[in-house]
Amino acid sequence: MGIRSTYQVFLVVGLVAATACTTARPPEKSASVESPASRIPPPPAPAPVPPPSVERLPELFESRDFVVAFAKAGDTAESLAARYLGEPRKAWMIEDYVGARVFPEGGEVVIPKDAWNPVGVFPWGYQLVPVLVYHRIDVEQKGRLTISTSNFEAQMRYLHAEGFRAVSLRDFMQFSIGRRQLPRKSVLLAFDDGYRSFLRYARPVLKGLGFSATLFVYTDYIGSGGNALSWSELRALIDEGFEVQAHSKTHDNLRRREGESEAEYAKRMDAELAYPLTLFSLRGTSRSSRMRTWARRRCRTGRHPRLPRRRA
Q: Which residues pair with 109 in a beta bridge?
A: 69
Q: Using the predicted structure, report yes or no on whether residue 61 has a pLDDT greater than 60.
A: yes
From residue 203, alpha-carbon distances to 169, 207, 235 in Å are 17, 6, 14
The pLDDT mean for the chain works out to 79
- For residues 107-128, give the mean pLDDT: 94
Does residue 22 fall inside a structural domain? no
Same domain as 123, residue 222: yes
- Give the domain range for residue 304: 253-312
Binned at pLDDT 50, 70 and 90, residue 31 comes out as low
Same domain as 125, residue 104: no
- In angstroms, the CA 305 to CA 299 distance is 6
Maximum Cα–Cα distance across the chain: 186
Of 116, 143, 163, the residue that ends a domain is 116
Q: Is 6 exposed, middle or buried (0-12, 13-18, 19+ CB in 10 A)?
A: exposed
Quote the number of domains for the chain: 3
Same domain as 146, residue 178: yes
Same domain as 185, residue 70: no
Worst-scoring range by mean pLDDT, 46-55, 96-105, 184-193? Answer: 46-55
What is residue 52's predicted lDDT score, i.e. its pLDDT? 73
- In angstroms, the CA 214 to CA 78 distance is 25
**Higher local confidence (pLDDT), 278 or 114:** 114
Reported in sequence order, the residue ranges of 106-231 that DSSP labels E, i.e. its strands, are 108-112, 121-122, 125-126, 131-134, 136-138, 146-148, 165-166, 186-193, 214-217
Q: Using the predicted structure, report yes or no on whether residue 295 has a pLDDT greater than 50.
A: no
What is residue 58's predicted lDDT score, i.e. its pLDDT? 67
Q: Are strands 66-70 and 60-62 parallel, antiparallel or unpaired?
A: antiparallel
- In angstroms, the CA 24 to CA 251 distance is 144
Binned at pLDDT 50, 70 and 90, residue 69 comes out as very high
Of 231, 251, 271, the residue that ends a domain is 251
Worst-scoring range by mean pLDDT, 45-54, 79-88, 273-282? Answer: 273-282
Return phi, psi of residue 180, to 5°.
Answer: -150, 130
Return phi, psi of residue 216, to 5°.
Answer: -105, 110
* 5, amino acid identity: S
Measured in residues, the chain has a length of 312
Does residue 246 fall inside a structural domain? yes
Same domain as 264, residue 175: no
Binned at pLDDT 50, 70 and 90, residue 85 comes out as very high
Of 76, 94, 116, the residue that ends a domain is 116
